[in-house]
């Protein structure tokens, strides 16, 4: 995790635009590391300077929903608003569409993107064995997709142990390096929830690149 990673992608040459403020909500530290790294990487590729303002990244799904709704109510009473809100919560076997409906806020004053790993965010870190190898020192097997609350946490820990490393926080400490090295196009083909998120973020960033935005 030390030093600057060698990226396996070419950043697009866009003119850097003004700073964009993104407010984020997540269930835990894993969401903060993975979603934060993914958003920053996509912003860099689009030539966008993004400031990530994490409003909540603790205490699970229920706290995310509570803090998210409180934040939206506060926005109605103040003039300064972010350019985008990202809400990250695992589907936890509820299903991608069900979680999406639960978090929809059609009257929100700010665009909202929902980051909903299906079923859990640790699965995303196992999608690209080559990226895992670059970050950890040994590749990992492609993950299955099963509804099991702790399955992908265990698979991530096991993959780190297999590389001869004792994980300090369940292997999630390698998340930023893995995301930086990830072949995003290939990973998107292996996970519909990741594909959905990346497409939505890229669409938003394209709109920001428009001269009229």
Distance CA 36, CA 24 (A): 9
Look up the pTM and report it. 0.88
Nearest to 201 by CA among 87, 42, 63, 71: 42
Query: Is 4 inside any structural domain?
Result: no
pLDDT band at residue 134, thresholds of 50, 70 and 90?
very high
Taking only Cα atoms into account, the Rg of the chain, rounded to an integer number of angstroms, comes to 17
Query: Is 2 inside any structural domain?
Result: no
pLDDT band at residue 10, thresholds of 50, 70 and 90?
very low
CA angle in degrees (0–180, nearest 5) for 150-151-156: 100
Query: Is 107 inside any structural domain?
Result: yes
CA distances from 150 to 65, 120, 132 (A): 22, 9, 20
Q: Percent of the chain, pLDDT > 70?
A: 90
Query: Is 12 inside any structural domain?
Result: no
Average pLDDT over residues 27-35: 96
Q: Count of CB atoms within 10 A of residue 201's CB?
A: 22
Query: Is 11 inside any structural domain?
Result: no
Distance CA 118, CA 172 (A): 17
Predicted confidence (pLDDT) at residue 144 exceeds the cutoff of 50 = yes
Average pLDDT over residues 22-41: 96
pLDDT band at residue 4, thresholds of 50, 70 and 90?
very low
The two counts, helices (H) then strands (E), for the chain are 8, 4
Residue-level pLDDT at 13: 42
Q: What is the pLDDT of residues 96-118, one digit of tens each?
A: 888 999 999 988 989 999 999 99
Average pLDDT over residues 179-198: 97
Q: What is the pLDDT of residues 53-95, one digit of tens each?
A: 999 867 788 899 999 999 999 987 877 899 999 999 999 888 8
- Taking all residues of the chain, what is their mean pLDDT, rounded to a whole number? 89
The beta-strand segments (E) located in the chain are: 20-26, 50-57, 84-88, 112-115
Query: Is 96 inside any structural domain?
Result: yes
What residue numbers bound the domain in which 170 lies? Answer: 20-206
Are 27 and 64 spatial neighbours (Cβ–Cβ below 8 Å)? yes
Query: Is 213 inside any structural domain?
Result: no
Of residues 39 and 211, more confidently modeled: 39
Distance CA 130, CA 158 (A): 17
Write the DSSP symbol of residue 9: S
Query: Is 53 inside any structural domain?
Result: yes
Q: Under DSSP, is residue 44 helix (H, G, I), strand (E, B) or coil?
A: helix
Average pLDDT over residues 134-153: 93
Annotate 117-143 with three-state secondary structure. Answer: CCCCHHHHHHCCHHHHHHHHCCCCCCC
Residue-level pLDDT at 192: 95
CA angle in degrees (0–180, nearest 5) for 91-97-102: 75
Number of domains in the chain: 1
Q: H or E element: which one contains 210? A: none
């Amino acid at each position: 995790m030390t030093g600057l990673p060698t990226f396996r992608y070419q950043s697009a040459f866009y003119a850097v635009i003004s700073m964009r403020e993104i407010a984020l909500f997540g269930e835990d530290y894993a969401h903060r590391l993975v979603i934060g790294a993914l958003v920053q990487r996509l912003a860099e590729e689009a030539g966008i300077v993004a400031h990530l303002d994490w409003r909540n990244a603790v205490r699970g799904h229920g706290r995310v929903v509570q803090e998210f709704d409180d934040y939206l109510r506060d926005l109605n009473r103040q003039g300064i608003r972010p350019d985008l809100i990202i809400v990250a919560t695992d589907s936890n076997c509820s299903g991608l569409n069900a979680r999406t409906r639960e978090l929809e806020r059609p009257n929100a004053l700010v665009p909202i993107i929902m980051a909903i790993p299906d079923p859990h965010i640790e699965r995303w870190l196992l999608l690209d064995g080559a990226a895992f190898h670059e970050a950890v020192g040994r590749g990992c097997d492609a993950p299955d997709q099963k509804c099991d609350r702790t399955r992908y946490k265990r698979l991530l820990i096991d993959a780190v142990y297999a590389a001869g490393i004792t994980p300090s926080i369940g292997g999630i400490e390698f998340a930023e390096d893995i995301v930086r090295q990830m072949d995003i196009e290939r990973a998107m083909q292996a996970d519909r929830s990741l594909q959905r998120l990346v497409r939505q973020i890229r669409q938003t960033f394209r709109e920001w690149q428009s001269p009229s935005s």
